Amino acid sequence: MRVHLGSDHAGLDLKDHLIGWLQEQGHEPVDHGPHQYDAQDDYPVFCLRAAEAVAAEPGSLGVVIGGSGNGEQIAANKVLGVRCALAWSEETARLGREHNDANVVSVGGRMHSLDDMTRFVGVFLETPFSGEERHVRRIAMMSAYETTRELPPLPESALGGA
């Protein structure tokens, strides 16, 4: 599988580690940068490129990495067609794929050990989307909103009749 990666200076070491690890696992990593340490670099430059590549290539997945993973997740989620999950455990990595059909995962390079973060990425890549109707329905609502900007209708139970 092709896996697009982007980070900032805080995620550079993990990104470089993941490139070798992904190759060992039989994946095809694509490095969207940075390619050298610069304490002043800006994560949107690299994370948006990785997310754009995932959106343009159905079937590929992505990994964005920063200090906490928060900004990188926000950046990736600005790209139409990307659903980026922030993983801070194996369970959040698994649920991001299983329930949300996330196609990008964000991890915080300063939040966990290298081994833990590699495991989170591995779980994310190995977990299929469940395809359960409730999850498909929810994703469809978000996808429709992305393109139309129309809110989904409120359910009867939320209308609170008088």
* Structural domain contains residue 94: yes
Residue 157 domain flag: no
pTM of the shown model = 0.94
Domain region containing 73:
2-150
Predicted pLDDT at 159: 79
The answer to whether position 27 is within a domain reads yes
Whether residue 160 is contained in a domain is answered as no
In a domain, 159, yes or no: no
- Sheet with 28-31: strands ordered across: 28-31, 2-7, 61-66, 104-108, 84-86
Active site residue 99: yes
Please indicate whether residue 27 is annotated as part of the active site.
no
- Classify residue 156: in a domain, yes or no: no
Catalytic residue, candidates 4, 72, 98, 112: 72
pLDDT at residue 153 tops 70: yes
- Surface-to-core class of residue 84, CB atoms within 10 Å of its CB (0-12 exposed, 13-18 middle, 19+ buried): buried
17, 27, 90, 99: the catalytic one is 99
Q: What is the pLDDT of residue 161?
A: 58
How confident is the model over 55-113, as pLDDT tens digits? 999 999 999 999 999 999 999 999 999 999 999 999 999 999 999 999 999 999 999 99
According to DSSP, the residues that pair with 85 across neighbouring strands are 105
**CATH number of domain containing 123:** 3.40.1400.10
Q: Are 60 and 3 in contact, with CB atoms under 8 Å apart?
A: yes
- H-type alpha helices, 2-155: 12-24, 43-56, 70-76, 90-98, 114-126, 133-148
Residue 96 falls within a domain, yes or no?
A: yes
Pairing, β 104-108 against β 61-66: parallel
How many domains in the chain? 1
Percent of the chain with pLDDT over 90: 96
